[in-house]
Structure 1
C-alpha cells in the first residue's frame, strides 16, 4: 500500500514539473497581432525644412523668385532656400510698396512650388558700406509683420540679420554691436514673427549675452515657445578655421553648448574659404555635423569645399543625413478590433539624421477603406522628440469612434501644422523606408490591414 502511494505521488510530481517547465523555453505566438519589420531606404529623400539649400539674394525692389526655378528644385532634392533681401535703398526711409510686394510675391511662389525659405534681411553686401539705425530696423519690421504673419507657414527659420554687412552682426556703422542693441533687434524679431518661427543668431555668444545665461536649455524649456526656446544658431564659416572665423571664442565649450541646445533649436549655414586649416575631409565634416546637429547647408558657397565632398563620395550621404531622417523600424499591430473600440498603435521610430525636426507637426493614424475613404485619427506623437540616434517607442491607444466596420489599410501621416499646408504632400514628412510612401496623399504605409468587426 505504501509503495502504491509513493508511486502515485511521484507520478503527480512528474506531471506537475512537465506542465510548468515549458514557460521559459517556448514562446506562444499571439495570433491577434501582426509583427512587422520595416526596411530602411537607401535613397536620398526630400523632406521639408532640411537638407542642402540654394541661396538667392536680391537688391532693393529687385526681381522676385522664378517659379520655374523653384519648381526645378525637386530634381535636386532641394526643399529649402535662403532668401536674403538687401534693403540698401531704405536705410533712412520706410520700405516702399514695390519692395513689400516683391516679398509678398516671393512667398506666393514659394508656396506654389512647395518650398520653404530661410529668411534674412540686411542693408549692404560690402564691408565698407553702412547699415541702418535701430529705429529704422524696428520700423521696417513693423512693416513686415503682416506679411510674415500671413506667410509664417513657408518660413522654415529666420536668420537675425539687419545688423552690419550681410546682416552678420560682426560690426556696424550705427553702433549696433552692443549687447543692448543686439537684444533690441532680437526682441523685435521675436515680437514680429509668430511664436512658431525660430530665429537664428550668428554665434553662440550672442545668444548667451542677449539672454544672460550660459547653460543650455533642456526639454522642459526647449519644446515650449518662450523667447529663449525660439533662438538657435547659423554659422556662415562652417569648417573654415579653428574658430570658424570668430564664430567661437571658447571652441570646445561653445560647441558642446550648441550640441545640447540643438536638440531643440536649429543650426545651419554655409562653409567659406578655409584659413589656417586644411579643407574639411568627409570624416571631419561628418563628425562636426553630427556633433552640432546640422539641419541645412548652402549649396552655393563655398564651392571648393563642397567639391571635395563630391569627389570623395560623401556628398550623397550628407544629402541623406542633413537634418532629420526618420525610419520606421518595427510595429506590433492588432489584426482585428470591434467597432467603436480602441486600436493600439505600437511602433518603433528612429532618427538616423544629424538633427531632429524643429517645427511642430500634426500626426495622424490614417485608415483607408477599400473604397478609398480616409479616416484620420489625431495622435499625441510629437515628432520633434525623435532625436538623432534614438529609438522612440510610439505607443498610443487610438479611439476608432465613427469608423464603420470593414477592412482598412493603415498609414502614418506627419503633416504641416498650418491648415494651409496640411493637405500638401510636399510639406508632409516621408519616412526613410522602402515601398511605404504614398506621394499623392503624403502618407506613410504601415503595411498592415486592420479589420473592424
Structure 2
C-alpha cells in the first residue's frame, strides 16, 4: 500500500471510502472486507504525555544552606539525596529528607524542572516554568541500619573522621548500623512503599544501597565554614572488613555461602517478583556512597561487581532492566565470558543477543551532561579498576557512548547539564539521541540551559563540532566530528526543555490506520497501519499489546491479544523523527479472528489498541498513550482509538 503524505490525506480517505462502498455493494456477503482509511488525526501533539518507563521523575532532592540545618530541616546533617531510610522495627527513626512538599511513596505529582537556583529553606519552586507529570516514582531505599560500616548521620561520620571511633565517646551510642539480616518489619516497610506506587499510576525506579544519603562521603562545598577535602570517609558496605565489621560472610544458617550483600539481595528477591508489574528497573547500587558505585574499596573491586551483578540477575525477574556503570558492566562481562574488554575497546563489544543476561544492563549517569570529558567521572567510572585487572584501559567518551547505544537499554541520569558542548543545545540533543536518554531527575540540574534555548530551525540546525579529546574540551579548539541536528517543525517556537521533556525514552505517534470496514461472524478483523517512535530511545520492558472492541451503543467491550511487540517500534537511528520521514514509520499490522473476542454482538464498534505490562493488575493504569492530536485516548480503557468497524 502506497504511503501518502499529510497534504493529500483527506483525498485518500475519500477515495478509500468510495472504494469500500463499491466493494460492499458488489460483494455484500464477502468474508474479506475492504480496508478503510480511518478518519483520525495523524499529527503529533507537542505536549507532555506521561508514559511508563520513561520521562522526568521527581528526584528526592533537597538543598539546605549550612545555616539552615536543624533537627526539623535535616536531623542527620546536610545531605542532598533523600533515600527512604529502611527501619529495623517500629521504634526506628524514619527519614525521608526535607521533602518540599513531603512525599512518601508515589511521587507522581506535576512538578517544574529545576533551574539551578538553590531554594535553601524555601519551598521547591523549580523555577523554569516548564512542568511535567512524572510517570516514575523514585523508590530508593537506604539500608544503613543493616551495615556496621554505614554511618547513621553526617554528624556520626564527622565524629569518626575526628577520632576514628565507631562509638560516640560521650554518649556511647554507636555511629553506624549493625550488619544483620533485613528484619520482617523492614521488608514489610519496603512492600508498603512499593504498594503505594502500584495504587498510584506510576512505575518504580528502584535502588538499594547502604549509604543512600551520602553520609560516608564529604562534599566540602556544603561546609564552607570548615576546611575539608571532598572524598570518602569510610566504605559503607557490610562486605568491607573492618574492626566494626569483622566478616563479609553471612552468618545465617544455610546461607554461609553468601556474603552479606548477596544475602540481603536474596531476601529482597520475593519483593522483586511480587512487584514485577510496577518495577521499571533496578539500579544495582549497593556499593559506594549513595549507591553510585564509586570511591569505596568495594566499589573499585572487579570481583565485587561479578558477585553483585550475578546476585541481581538472579533476584530480579528477567523482564526488568538492571542499571550499572561501564566499569561495573565490563568487570561482570569479562569475568562471566572470559574476555578482556577495557574502556579502550568497549565500543567493539558485540550487540547483546536478545534476552541474554548482558542485554539486561542499562546505564546510570549521576552527572548527566555535566560537561566534563567524563561527566564528573560518571561515564568513565571504573576505568582505573579495569586497568588494574585487564591492563591498558584508556577512557574515551565516544567509545563509551557507542557501547551505551548498542545496549539499547534504559539510561537514567541525575541532572548536571554543564555550560559546554555536551550540555548545551543543540549538542545535548545529539548526545541524547546517541545515549537513548530515558529518564532524568527534574529536581537536580541546570535545566534553565535548555529552557533558554528557543527551538527553531536556525538554532536547531546550527552545526556542532565536538572535541576530539578531553584536552580539546579544556582548551576550546575542537577538531572532532561535526554534526547537525534534524529540526522537527512540530516543536517550532517552543523551548528546548519542552522538546527534551517529551522526547525522553519512547514516544509513539500513529501515522496511518486502515481497518476492516466490517467483520463477518466467522471473519477476521484486519488492521494495517504505521506507527512512528519520535523519542530518543525505545521501549525496553516487554509490553502486552491488545485490541479492544468497544460498542458504539452501550459500554460493552471485548478484548483479544495480538502478537505485536512494542519493542520493535524503533526510533530513527539518525535522529530524524519528522513526520515526513516515512522510512521511520514502523508496521502496525494484525489480523484477529472475531472468535478470539468471544461472543461479539452485531453492531458498530470502536477499535482500541491497549499497550501495558503483561503482569499489570489494574484495568487502566500504566498504559502507553500515543502522542496524537485529537480525542483518541480513552482513560477508562487505558487505550488508544485506532479505528472503527461493524460486526455483522
TM-score bracket for this pair, using the shorter chain length: 0.7 to 0.9
The structural deviation recorded for 1:278 is 6.7
Question: Whole-Å Cα distance in 1 between the matches of residues 429 and 107 of structure 2?
Answer: 29
Greater strand share, 1 or 2?
Answer: 1
State the match for 2:263 in structure 1.
Answer: 139
State the match for 2:227 in structure 1.
Answer: none
Question: Whole-Å Cα distance in 1 between the matches of residues 417 and 588 of structure 2?
Answer: 44
State the match for 1:30 in structure 2.
Answer: 19
State the match for 2:557 in structure 1.
Answer: 374
State the match for 2:415 in structure 1.
Answer: 271
* 2:385 is equivalent to residue 396 of structure 1: no
Instruction: Please list, as runs of the form range in 1=range in 2, the aligned pairs for 1:16-415 lying within 5 A after superposition.
Output: 30-31=19-20, 32-36=34-38, 38-56=42-60, 57-61=83-87, 62-63=94-95, 66=103, 70=107, 72-73=109-110, 76-91=132-147, 92-124=179-211, 125=214, 126=217, 127-132=232-237, 133=239, 135-173=259-297, 175-202=298-325, 204-212=326-334, 214=346, 215-218=348-351, 221-222=353-354, 224=355, 226-240=356-370, 241-246=372-377, 247-248=379-380, 249-262=395-408, 265-272=409-416, 274=418, 277=420, 280-302=423-445, 305-312=446-453, 313-369=495-551, 370-389=553-572, 390-401=584-595, 402=598, 403-415=600-612
Q: Deviations over 1:66-118 (max 9, x none)?
A: 46973534884111032222211211222233432321111111111112121
Question: Whole-Å Cα distance in 2 between the matches of residues 68 and 49 of structure 1?
Answer: 17
SS in 2 for 1:72: coil
CA RMSD of superposed structures (Å): 2.3
Task: Provide the TM-score with structure 2 as the length reference.
Answer: 0.61
Question: Whole-Å Cα distance in 2 between the matches of residues 436 and 71 of structure 1?
Answer: 23
The structural deviation recorded for 1:63 is 4.7
State the match for 2:384 in structure 1.
Answer: none
Cα distance change of structure 1 residues 426 and 443 upon mapping to structure 2, 3 Å threshold: same
The structural deviation recorded for 1:273 is 6.9
**Does the Cα contact within 8 Å between 1:52 and 1:78 map onto a contact in 2?**
yes
Question: Whole-Å Cα distance in 1 between the matches of residues 617 and 330 of structure 2?
Answer: 35
**Bigger CA drift: 73-82 or 283-292?**
73-82
**Does the Cα contact within 8 Å between 1:217 and 1:261 map onto a contact in 2?**
no
The structural deviation recorded for 1:383 is 0.4
The number of residue pairs the alignment matches comes to 414
The structural deviation recorded for 1:279 is 7.7
SS in 2 for 1:404: coil
Cα distance change of structure 1 residues 452 and 216 upon mapping to structure 2, 3 Å threshold: farther
Question: Whole-Å Cα distance in 1 between the matches of residues 181 and 322 of structure 2?
Answer: 23
State the match for 1:440 in structure 2.
Answer: 636
Cα distance change of structure 1 residues 254 and 342 upon mapping to structure 2, 3 Å threshold: same
State the match for 1:17 in structure 2.
Answer: none
Question: Whole-Å Cα distance in 1 between the matches of residues 146 and 418 of structure 2?
Answer: 34
Question: Whole-Å Cα distance in 2 between the matches of residues 375 and 67 of structure 1?
Answer: 38
Q: Deviations over 1:396-438 (max 9, x none)?
A: 21111133332211111112211414x1x23000011122101
Q: Deviations over 1:303-337 (max 9, x none)?
A: xx212222332111111111110010011222122
**Does the Cα contact within 8 Å between 2:305 and 2:331 map onto a contact in 1?**
no
SS in 1 for 2:535: coil
The structural deviation recorded for 1:58 is 2.2
Question: Whole-Å Cα distance in 2 between the matches of residues 87 and 295 of structure 1?
Answer: 27
Q: Which runs of 5+ in 2 are unaligned?
A: 1-14, 21-33, 61-82, 88-93, 97-101, 112-130, 148-178, 218-231, 240-247, 249-258, 340-345, 381-394, 454-494, 573-583
Question: Whole-Å Cα distance in 1 between the matches of residues 327 and 19 of structure 2?
Answer: 56
Greater helix share, 1 or 2?
Answer: 1
Question: Whole-Å Cα distance in 2 between the matches of residues 419 and 340 of structure 1?
Answer: 31
**Bigger CA drift: 232-241 or 348-357?**
232-241
Cα distance change of structure 1 residues 148 and 311 upon mapping to structure 2, 3 Å threshold: same
The structural deviation recorded for 1:216 is 4.8
